[in-house]
Amino acid sequence: MRNKNLQALVESAILIALAAALSLIALFKMPMGGTVAPFAMAPLVIIGLRWGAKWGLGAGLVYGILQAIQGADNFQWVTGIVAWAGVALLDYLLAFTAYGLAPIVAKPFKTNKAVGWGVGAAVGGLLQFVCSFLSGILLWGTWAPEGTKVWVYSLTYNGSYALPNAVLTVIGTVVAMALLERFFPVKSEDRK
């Protein structure tokens, strides 16, 4: 058991570092936060799929903390401790931790693992979008152009980067998991 925990810890650290590195490769950046970074979220989904929801949720939380530190300049756009806490929680901690739920979503797809991996990754992307969408309404609404409904502003702003990221995450997850399962499989009893 100890060796499997060590293996999960080392693999998670490497994949979190890979996700952080991939997040720096931006196809485009939104002015107040939000980036299309190809495949950056796939490593977080992979941790959960390989080692279970506990590891996936923990990895997402660690990654969220790292991203909050890295994106600290985004906090300048909101004022007050409540807004800062809301941004930290919705845009970073919950948004990235959501990817850790992928193994729970993928579990029913036992006969077609690749579909399960893709659905798990898609749900992670959807939950990240929901967090950002709510944050856009609750915390960023003052930035909506005059005459634009806050929910429309949040939908378009956050959807412009969340949808491409979700698609790329699904593709990256399915391809990487197929390769990992073939060459470096993890036994189902080792997942937690």
CA 179 to CA 107: how far, in whole Å?
19
- The percentage of the chain sitting over the pLDDT mark of 70, rounded to a whole number, equals 96
Cα 179 from Cα 151, distance rounded (Å): 40
Distance CA 56, CA 149 (A): 35
Return the pLDDT at 188: 67
Q: Could you read off the pLDDT of 39-81 as tens digits, one per residue?
A: 999 999 999 999 999 999 999 999 999 999 988 787 777 778 8
- pLDDT confidence band for 1 (50 / 70 / 90): low
Query: Over the stretch 158-187, which tens digit does the pLDDT of each residue have?
Result: 999 999 999 999 999 999 999 999 999 887
Report, as an integer, the average pLDDT of 81-109.
94
Domain count, the chain: 1
Residue 2 has pLDDT above 70, yes or no: no
Residue 112: the pLDDT is 95
> Please, what is the average pLDDT of the chain?
93
Whole-model pTM: value is 0.91
Closest CA to 126 of 74, 176, 168, 162: 162
Strand, coil or helix: 29: strand
CATH assignment of the domain containing 179: 1.10.1760.20
**Residue 189: which pLDDT band, with cuts at 50, 70 and 90?**
low
Could you list the residue range(s) of the whole structural domain that residue 13 is in? 2-190
Taking 90 as the threshold, does the pLDDT of residue 14 lie above it? yes
Tens-digit pLDDT profile for residues 21-35: 999 999 999 988 889
d(CA 11, CA 19): 12
Q: CA 103 from chain center: how many Å?
A: 13
pLDDT category of residue 121 using cuts at 50, 70 and 90: very high
More confident site: 84 or 9: 9
